[in-house]
Amino acid sequence: MSAKPKDLSEFFNKKVSEYNQPDFIKDDPVCIPHLFSKKQDIEIAGLFAAIFAWGNRTTIIKKAKELMQLMNNAPHDFVLHHTYQDLRKLEGFKHRTFNATDLLYFVSFLQYHYSRNESLESAFTKWMSPQDENIEQALIGFYHYFFSLEEVPSRTRKHIASPEKNSSCKRLNMYLRWMVRNDDRGVDFGIWNSISPGQLICPIDLHVARVAKRFNLLRRDPVDWLAALELTSYLKKLDKVDPAKYDFALFGLGVVEKF
């Protein structure tokens, strides 16, 4: 299927409006950070919800809520002030391939970072420049920073993606969309200001890639970092300032409408 950019823009903008609304929240992992109002709680809850976001959405939401309850529904306070007994409560947690070993390292990193920084935003932005075309260096820097503590479990590295490994970084790109975009529609939070929406990369998975290829937005077959760049490059033709908003349209068409 092919169409002129103007026609595609009108169609996709309509789909963005259809899915980028509060009714979308309850059935999506973004509902987890929406349980909170404190900035740091939103950041931490959002990170876990994004990292868990593969497979069935109902299960993702259930497991993320379970983790928030284990953190006393106060994740920022938990990572900063937990006791040994608090950590013991986490030992039975598991979501697919993410287990207690991974979780305990995540908590250690978050404690390290938040004891030195006000926001998780700096864990990404310290590695990039406002002049950067996109967030590639932010993602690479975050990966190395995240695994800079002593005694990193080798198994945990698979849970944080990086463009250096040619991963599509779908879950981190989704997380950054949540934190950065602010269009007053109620889904994305827009609580980070040092990354511009125009620097975001559209999250891509098999569903999104399938839809993108149907509309000739994407030619590359592997769903990898280069595919994410190619797709975003096309989406910038439709909206240079906010290309990642089309994640709503592509996701809705691929997952909800099974286009």
Domain residues for the domain of 104 are: 5-256
CA distances for 234 relative to 17, 119, 188, angstroms: 19, 32, 22
pLDDT for 4 equals: 57
118-168 pLDDT, tens per residue? 999 999 999 999 899 999 999 999 999 999 999 999 999 999 999 999 999
Structurally, the chain folds into a number of domains equal to 1
pTM of this prediction?
A: 0.96
Average pLDDT over residues 182-205: 97
Pairwise CA distance, residues 185 & 92, whole Å: 37
Band of the pLDDT at 188, cuts 50, 70, 90? very high
The residues pairing with 238 across neighbouring beta strands, listed in sequence order, are none
- Any long-range contacts for 167-171 (C-beta under 8 Å, 24+ apart)? 167/224, 167/225, 168/203, 168/204, 168/205, 168/223, 168/224, 168/225, 168/227, 168/228, 169/139, 169/201, 169/225, 169/228, 170/203, 170/204, 170/205, 170/228, 171/50, 171/51, 171/53, 171/54, 171/203
Count of CB atoms situated within 10 Å of the CB of 80: 13
Residue type, 199: Q
Identify whether the C-beta of residue 63 lies closer than 8 Å to the C-beta of residue 97.
Answer: no
Between the alpha carbon of residue 218 and those of residues 7, 132, 225, 251, the distances in Å are 17, 23, 12, 15
- How many C-alpha atoms does 204 have within 13 Å on its Cβ side? 29
Render pLDDT for 7-53 as a digit per residue (tens, 0 to 9).
789 999 999 999 999 999 999 999 999 999 999 999 999 999 999 99
**48-104 pLDDT, tens per residue?**
999 999 989 999 999 999 999 999 999 999 999 999 999 999 999 999 999 999 999
Spatial contact of 37 and 76, defined as CB atoms under 8 Å apart? no
* DSSP per-residue letters across 192-223: --SS-GGG------HHHHHHHHHTTS----S-
